[in-house]
Structure 1
Amino acid sequence: MSILTRIPRRVACALAHAAALILGLFVAWRFGRAAGVAAFTLKAAEARVKLLQQAAEVRRNVEAHDHSTVSDKLSGWMRDKPGG
């Protein structure tokens, strides 16, 4: 005699529903977590692209000026920098 034949049908049905609910919650949690990780990764990549674009813009601006102009601007920046 198996264990399923010894328990009443209502108990077996309730256990099956509970197992389905737990499985559904677990699957939803896993997919939600994966979506959250993907969103975080995308946000980090976008921030990195923005940072690289800003660095390229600064590089272009520095290369567009001669050495004395860049030196003067950097000296002024270091002088006016808060806390420095």
Structure 2
Amino acid sequence: MEEEYIEVIKKMPYVHCARGPSQCVKCQEFAKKPETYALVKVFLTPSEYARPMTDIIINNERIYGAYDILKRFKDIIEAKNYAKEQNIDITFY
């Protein structure tokens, strides 16, 4: 069965694993980095794999889902250009 997902661009922190900075030394190191805009694959159905969670808004409804980061952008301009070229939603909240 194929997992349902949506791709969005939003500002995301660096994370190493689903345990987070309170339980993972690598996540603590990553938490020191500033957030950047990223292309994020957000899974709309539960997964059998442990992944970090994020929220997105679809049709004015906040949805939480596990995610994978597919690409990071160096700045907002690069993120906006990519979103326009690929017809991907970019989140500014």
Is the helix fraction higher in 1 or 2? 1
Is the strand fraction higher in 1 or 2? 2
Higher relative contact order (CA 8 A, sep 6+): 2
TM over 0.5: no
Q: TM-score, normalised by structure 2?
A: 0.23
The structure that has the greater radius of gyration is 1
Q: TM-score, normalised by structure 1?
A: 0.25
